[in-house]
Structure 1
């Protein structure tokens, strides 16, 4: 298939001819924007039982506050991403962060479950602005290798959120109620809003914005999905992300109830695996990309992920291996995602230099939807076996590798797409 990125626009020099922000403030601001969504989920998790008790509802009703946020953050990206291609990045981003702050304050004051669920949905819709626009800003400012390296650097900031948030949330609950957790999230949102307003200029000048309204947006998304390589990178990254979520969803029960890990040991292993993923992302951006072709780096990450999934299945079914064997396999499941996600994101955005918001929206929504399906797959076998988690990781990893081979056809791509 012909390179449809040429139909959308040429991928030549970094977009936005204006002043480029300094690197460190840019990484901190964009990393904070990317981390705000996951932080809003993970900081709140330890408070779920208290919400249920305080509002007098079942745990299932309380779980709806998480579902509402996840649905909101998935759908919000589909709206805000294309909107930023038309209006520029800064205005939708600042409005989204402002609504996020207001919704967080209303969550803290919610008198009943209906208001809390509704405001969590609004919080997710608004919080999507940070995730989808941060990726688009990277594409505005950098091409190819530069974009891939910056996306890898963002994992140093955004990747720490899942590590620290549950611990911080538990400590907050020692000092305050679940409403105090939402006050904390509101204050964090205000800090990110202030930093964004002060440090992040507009990166999409008016001459480079897309016109034509909703019909043009739908045509752009249609063209992107028809682009074989874009769809290949999109599915490869999303399926790899889903494999990570299958591990996250299944590991708590698997390690503690089947393999006997204490909560402290589980927390230590979870944090170690998250640090491994962040470190791999850093290695990916500073050493691998630029020295080796991006498709080779991506193929290596996928190979490790498939091997880790296969090792999990083998350990669960064919041996009586204990925690010292299972833990390294889970570590190797998390680490390659630090290579897969930044690389596939950069390769996808490279295909749409003048439609980065729409491309970012498709990326984010697909990742969140596939990630939301992974826990259901990992829990199919009930509480007596770790096999569903292991099979889910392996199946999703093989599907990611298959999409890469069939749709991206890496052996036909020369030169390196990120070296253009």
Structure 2
């Protein structure tokens, strides 16, 4: 179960990180500029963000396994479409469909964790899963660069088709975690309207904002780093995979630290610490990218620090939101995930729209997103635990 849940949660990383080293090659083949190709990440995030709002209430009503299976079929179709694309707009469209399918696996894997665990234990398990799933982005750019070395970038998307089929087969070994008696049988129209009600809770906004702004910075990093490293600093696609993988090692380390300390220090305190570290790293990165101080290492070191903060921010923000509204885990997971990836759309799109051939747009966006994450964690997440009455009211 741990392996399958980790694979499901890793779909967002698998779908993007594998083809990052190929972005410059794709731009050349499709006769598109860097900004247009970077928008394939934004197109993916649009599908990923909006799709979660659909899968969350569907899973609360029909269980977790069936929506995941349907999502995997859509992921396979979208990946094949990407491989056959001949223009950048076509690729962006197929990436959006790919994302709608992939997000079912991610959002429902989080809900399955909440079905099985509660409180700080849920945050601990989320950190453990994220450590395991970090293998995907750790290996993704390296594997993608190897595929690119022996074949075209289209082969990367055919590899994703194979991953989709393999995951669909593995799904049969995963038990249903939401039994019929615990399902929400309210009409889907009412469940969708419930998102507005959830957004009236300051705690949800705080957790979603902390994770969302952080995701905005993360996807600015994903969109901008291939061109900052490969095009601007002339590193090879293979060495780019090594540099990107170093950040993933940092994420794995902080996830382990989080899982060991969360019972003792609490998830909210660790989340606030992570957002402050991310904000500081973003400010340093913006200064370095503007002045070119430190050259390549002036980017590598603060980007490593920003990426490493993932282990303290993401798992704790998700577990905090899910813990406040346990009876609506699917909907809450979908809403928080949609906000996170929606902000990721903004981060990656800003890097693409303001691309000027230098790392400055990436550094500026990451700094702003890091500051936004810290402000949400410090100002909107209360120190006191949400009251029983509020949880009961929200869960009913």
Q: Give the TM-score category using the shorter length.
A: 0.7 to 0.9
Moved more, 70-79 or 250-259: 250-259
Residue 271 (str. 1) matches residue 271 (str. 2): no
1:279, distance to aligned residue in structure 2 (A)? 1.5
SS of 1:290's equivalent in the other structure is helix
Q: Work out whether residues 221 and 362 of structure 2, in 8 Å CA contact, stay in contact via their aligned partners in 1.
A: yes
Residue range with higher mean Cα deviation, 206-215 or 226-235: 206-215
Give the count of matched residue pairs. 386
Shifted more, 335-344 versus 106-115: the winner is 106-115
Match of 1:140 in 2: 115
CA distance in 2, matches of 1:265, 1:331: 15
Q: What is the CA-CA distance between 1:402 and the residue it aligns to? A: 1.4
Given that 1:220 and 1:355 are in contact with CA atoms closer than 8 Å, whether structure 2 keeps it comes out as no
Taking the aligned partners of 2:370 and 2:86, their CA distance within structure 1 comes to 44
The structure number with the bigger radius of gyration is 1
Q: Are the equivalent residues in 1 in contact too, given 2:145–2:238 (CA < 8 A)?
A: no
- TM-score of the aligned structures, taking structure 2 as reference length: 0.85
Contact 2:49/2:341 (8 A) holds in 1: yes
Q: Which residue number corresponds to residue 351 of structure 1?
A: 324
Contact persistence 1:380–1:388 (CA under 8 A): no
**1:395–1:99 Cα change, 3 Å:** closer
Structure-1 residue corresponding to 2:2: 27
Instruction: Please tell me whether the aligned partners of residues 100 and 126 of structure 1 are also in contact (alpha carbons under 8 angstroms).
Output: yes
Greater helix share, 1 or 2?
2
Distance 1:146 1:108, change over 3 A: same
1:320 deviates by 4.1
Provide TM-score, normalisation by structure 1.
Answer: 0.81
Q: Specify the alignment match of 2:169 in structure 1.
A: 194
Distance 1:171 1:292, change over 3 A: same
Aligned 1:7-406 pairs, distance under 5 A: 26-47=1-22, 58=32, 66-105=41-80, 108=83, 119-198=94-173, 200-255=174-229, 265-285=239-259, 287-315=260-288, 320-378=293-351, 382-383=355-356, 386-406=359-379
For 2:231 and 2:31, locate their aligned partners in 1 and report how far apart those are by CA, in whole Å: 27
Instruction: Classify 1:176/1:398 alpha carbon distance in 2 versus 1 (closer, same or farther; 3 Å).
Output: closer
Runs (5+) with no aligned partner, structure 1? 1-25, 416-420
Distance 1:63 1:340, change over 3 A: closer
Of residues 150-159 and 186-195 in structure 1, the stretch that sits farther from structure 2 once superposed is 150-159
1:27–1:150 contact (8 Å) kept in structure 2: no
Structure 2 distance, partners of 1:293, 1:400, is 18
Do the aligned partners of residues 289 and 110 (structure 1) sit closer, same or farther apart at CA in structure 2, a change above 3 Å counting?
A: same
How far the C-alpha of 1:178 sits from its partner, in A, is 4.4
1:62-85 residue CA offsets vs partner (Å, 9 max, x unmatched): 667555433222221111111101
More deviation in 28-37 or 264-273? 264-273
Q: Distance in 1 between matches of 2:92 and 2:360?
A: 34
CA RMSD of aligned residues (A): 3.1
Q: Residues of 2 paired with 1:75 and 1:332: CA distance?
A: 30
List gaps (5 residues or longer) in structure 2. Answer: 388-396
How many Å separate the matches in 1 of 2:290 and 2:91? 43
Q: How far is the alpha carbon of 1:328 from its aligned partner? A: 2.3
Q: Deviations over 1:74-111 (max 9, x none)?
A: 22111111110111111111222233334444555668
Q: Is the 8 A contact 2:252 2:311 kept in 1?
A: yes
